[in-house]
Amino acid sequence: VLGREVDDVAGQPRWQEIADDLNSRIQADEFGAEDGQEAQLPKEADLCEEYNASRNTVREAVGWLADRGIVRTERGRGTYVIPRPEPIEVTLSSREITEGGGEGAAYVRQLVKLGREAYRTSPRVEIQQASEPVARYLQIGEDEQVVLRHQQGYITKDPWFLQTSFYPLSFVRDGATRLLEATDIGEGTVKYLQAKLGYKQAGYHDEISARRPDEIEEAFFKLSGPSATVLETYRTSYDADGRPFRLTVTVWPADRNRLHYNIGEVPEPVVHTPGEQPPPQD
């Protein structure tokens, strides 16, 4: 026996052939989960025999798959196929500018329909010196201080997003003392600020980028490997005078979130159930 037959593409390294073959076998569900078990690859020693390659070569192949987030190896246990998460559809544009601005109820509703419960932790509140970017977004001096409200989002026990909102500390001095309370502001922070200080949200600016997660995000979202990616959104909210009054930074694991914006007039079904396009009209 000279090893499992794999396409011997000219110039293709042996480990790449093995990786490609394993990948196609994974996609074909060949290591299928049996009775609720997670799909598991054969152990390295068996793969060595199967492909007639050394352990180092097999490990390079498996490592290539692990780097891409296709499998996960666990010392002493084995190698498992990572299931692809169902994407969560998140609408970041709200129908009404004056609503929550992506903070709250809008997209949660659609999830409840799908039988998944979304919730966020009570905020952890801090007061900090404004960092350079925060000061820039809020158009305050770097010597000024900000209130920072940090929350974690979950969907049925699964970590969903990390979010931090920044407000000038002057808001508290001006009477918006509930910004310092470590409880979710039920009616929405925007409405609270409007009632308390007269700030009315006239518009907002969103910035979206993708990057590798830091260690905290890796741990919270249970991401690993070089292919792990998060989406990061910066939302700056402006009042009618064009002054920024809030910065909200949200981090979403890229492998299970899709962001949506509706601009202008968009059919109702698209707004309410993004990702599920309505059937062809007749």
Partner DNA sequence: TGGGATTTGTTCGTATGTATG
Partner DNA sequence: ACATACATACGAACAAATCCC
Binding site for its own copies (CB under 8 A): 64, 67-69, 87, 92-93, 97, 135-137, 139-141, 201-212, 225-227, 229, 231, 236, 238, 240, 242-243, 254, 257-267, 270-271, 274-275, 277-281
Q: Which does 260 bind (CB under 5 to 8 A by kind): DNA, its own copies, none?
A: its own copies
For residue 264, the partner it binds in its own copies, DNA, none, with Cβ less than 5 to 8 A by kind, is its own copies
Q: How many residues would you count in the chain?
A: 282
- Contact, 170 vs 135, CB < 8 A? no
> 11 or 115: whose CB is closer to DNA?
11
* Residue closest to 224 by CA, chosen among 234, 214, 210: 214
The nearest distance, CB 1 to its own copies, in angstroms, is 29
CB of 97 to its own copies, least distance (A): 4
User: Rounded CA gap, 56 and 53, in Å?
Assistant: 8
User: Which one, 31 or 238, has the nearer CB to its own copies?
Assistant: 238
Secondary structure E strands in 49-107: 71-74, 78-81, 88-91
CB atoms inside a 10 Å sphere around CB 269: 12
By the criterion CB under 7 A, which residues form the site for DNA?
11, 13-16, 41, 43-45, 52-57, 59-60, 62, 73-79
DSSP output for 145-198: EEEEEEEEEEETTEEEEEEEEEEETHHHHTT-GGGGSSS--TT-HHHHHHHHH-
Q: Which is nearer to its own copies, 40 or 229 (CB)?
A: 229
